[in-house]
C-alpha cells in the first residue's frame, strides 16, 4: 500500500468545492494507494466540527482526514483581490505537519484525473525546496523578472506543488516565508514561494497543474512551449486547476468536467445543479448568434 500525504487549506466558503475536489482525488486512486489527507484551517472555520467531508467515508475507504489548526500564523500577512490569509497556510506545512519529509499541497479549486502515487515516488527533491509547474505567464514577464527577480519560465503556480519539508525545516525557510509575506505582493503566497525558493525549484510536467494559460496553449497549433507527449498528458489526464473563474459560479475553461464530478459526488444537490444551468442558459439565450458561435468555437478549441 502506497501512503501518500496530501494537504489542502481552505475556509468555510470553499467547503463544497473541497468536497468535489476530494471526490475526484479518491475516484482516481489506485487500489493500493492510501491518501493521508491533512486540512489546515484557522480558528474561525466551523467545518472541521460539522462532519461534512467525513461523508466521503460512506463511499471510499482508502483515505484518512486530519484537521490541523494553524492559528494566527499569518495574521499580519498582506491580503488582496479577495484572497484571504488562508492562502498563506501552505507555507507553514512543514512546521504544522512535521511527520512527513515530502508532501503534496493542492488548492481545492481542482479536479484530479489520475492517481498521484507515481509522481510522488518519482520526484526527487534532494536539492530542492519545492516542485511545481511553470506556466507561460507572458503577460507577467516584466513583473516576474523585475519584482520577483527570476525568469518567467521558472516561476511556478503555488496551487499544485510538492514540498521538501525536511529541507525547508533544515534551512529555516519558514521564517523567510513569514518575513517575506509581510510585504505587498501581486500574487501573495505564490510570489512569496517563488521569491524565497528560487534556484531551488524543480519543474514538473504540465499535466500536474493545468491552468487557464495552458488550456489556451493546447488549442494553439503553433505553440512552442510543450512537446506532443506533454500535450497528450494534459489532454488525457491533466489535473485541472480553476485558478481564475470558478465553474460553480459561471462559465470557464472545462467547467463541464467540474460539474461531472459534482454530479458523481455525495455532495450533489439537484436544486443547486438545475438552478445553475437554468440561470446560465438564460444568460446564453440573451447573446447574439455570433457571440454564441464564438463561445462554442473557443470552447471546443480548448476543451480537454
pLDDT at 259 over 50: yes
Q: Give the position of cell 438564460.
A: 282
- C-alpha–C-alpha distance, residues 284 and 251, integer Å: 10
- C-alpha–C-alpha distance, residues 210 and 152, integer Å: 17
More confident of the two residues 275 and 74: 275
What digits encode the pLDDT tens for the residues 192-207?
Answer: 999 999 999 999 999 9
More confident of the two residues 44 and 118: 118
**Could you tell me what percent of the chain has a pLDDT over 90?**
59
More confident of the two residues 187 and 27: 27
C-alpha cell at 238: 491533466
- Per-residue pLDDT at 293: 59
Q: Give the position of cell 510570489.
A: 191
**Could you tell me what percent of the chain has a pLDDT over 70?**
86
What digits encode the pLDDT tens for the residues 14-30?
Answer: 999 999 999 999 999 99
What digits encode the pLDDT tens for the residues 81-96?
Answer: 445 566 778 999 999 9
What digits encode the pLDDT tens for the residues 216-247?
Answer: 777 777 777 888 898 889 889 999 999 989 99
- Per-residue pLDDT at 3: 96
- C-alpha–C-alpha distance, residues 8 and 159, integer Å: 10
Q: Is 222 exposed, middle or buried (0-12, 13-18, 19+ CB in 10 A)?
A: exposed
- Per-residue pLDDT at 80: 44
In the chain, how long is the greatest CA-to-CA distance?
60
CA end-to-end span of the chain: 31
H helix runs in 60-201, sequence order:
93-96, 117-122, 141-143, 165-170, 173-180, 188-197
- C-alpha–C-alpha distance, residues 34 and 5, integer Å: 9
- Per-residue pLDDT at 291: 58
Q: Give the position of cell 525549484.
A: 201
- C-alpha–C-alpha distance, residues 300 and 304, integer Å: 9
- Per-residue pLDDT at 217: 76
User: What H or E segment, with its residue span, contains residue 1?
Assistant: none
Burial 182-200 (b: 16+ CB within 10 A, else e): eeebebbbbbbbbbbbbeb
C-alpha cell at 34: 492510501
pLDDT at 36 over 50: yes
- C-alpha–C-alpha distance, residues 47 and 55, integer Å: 12
Residue ranges and CATH numbers for the domains of the chain are 2-302 (3.90.550.10)
How would residue 300 be classed by pLDDT, with cut points 50, 70 and 90? low
- Per-residue pLDDT at 144: 92
Within 10 Å of residue 59's Cβ, how many Cβ atoms? Answer: 12
- DSSP label at residue 147: I
Q: pTM for the whole thing?
A: 0.88
User: What's the whole-number mean pLDDT along residues 123-147?
Assistant: 90
- C-alpha–C-alpha distance, residues 222 and 232, integer Å: 16
- Per-residue pLDDT at 242: 94
When mean pLDDT is compared across 83-87, 171-175, 219-223, 264-268, the lowest value belongs to: 83-87
Amino acid at each position: 500500500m502506497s501512503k501518500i500525504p496530501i494537504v489542502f487549506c481552505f475556509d468555510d466558503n470553499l467547503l463544497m468545492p473541497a468536497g468535489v475536489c476530494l471526490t475526484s482525488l479518491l475516484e482516481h486512486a489506485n487500489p493500493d494507494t492510501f491518501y493521508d489527507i491533512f486540512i489546515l484551517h484557522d480558528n474561525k472555520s466551523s467545518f472541521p466540527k460539522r462532519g461534512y467531508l467525513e461523508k466521503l467515508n460512506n463511499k471510499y475507504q482508502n483515505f484518512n482526514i486530519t484537521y490541523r489548526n494553524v492559528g494566527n500564523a499569518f495574521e499580519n500577512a498582506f491580503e488582496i483581490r479577495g484572497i484571504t490569509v488562508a492562502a498563506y497556510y501552505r507555507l507553514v506545512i512543514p512546521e504544522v505537519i512535521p511527520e512527513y519529509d515530502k508532501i503534496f499541497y493542492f488548492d481545492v479549486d481542482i479536479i484530479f484525473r489520475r492517481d498521484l502515487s507515481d509522481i510522488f515516488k518519482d520526484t526527487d527533491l534532494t536539492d530542492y525546496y519545492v516542485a511545481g509547474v511553470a506556466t507561460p505567464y507572458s503577460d507577467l514577464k516584466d513583473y516576474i523578472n523585475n519584482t520577483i527577480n527570476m525568469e518567467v519560465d521558472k516561476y511556478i503556480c503555488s496551487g499544485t506543488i510538492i514540498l521538501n519539508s525536511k529541507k525547508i525545516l533544515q534551512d529555516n525557510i519558514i521564517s523567510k516565508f513569514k518575513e517575506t509575506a509581510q510585504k505587498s505582493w501581486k500574487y501573495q503566497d505564490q510570489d512569496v514561494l517563488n521569491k524565497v525558493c528560487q534556484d531551488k525549484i524543480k519543474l514538473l510536467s504540465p499535466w500536474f497543474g493545468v491552468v487557464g494559460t495552458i488550456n489556451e496553449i493546447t488549442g494553439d497549433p503553433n505553440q512552442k512551449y510543450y512537446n506532443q507527449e506533454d500535450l497528450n498528458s494534459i489532454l488525457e489526464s491533466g489535473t485541472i486547476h480553476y485558478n481564475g473563474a470558478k465553474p460553480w459560479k459561471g462559465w470557464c475553461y472545462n467547467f463541464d468536467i467540474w460539474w461531472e464530478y459534482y454530479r458523481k459526488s455525495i455532495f450533489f444537490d439537484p436544486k443547486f445543479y438545475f438552478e445553475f444551468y437554468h440561470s446560465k442558459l438564460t444568460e446564453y439565450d440573451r447573446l447574439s448568434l455570433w457571440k454564441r458561435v464564438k463561445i462554442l468555437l473557443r470552447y471546443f478549441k480548448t476543451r480537454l
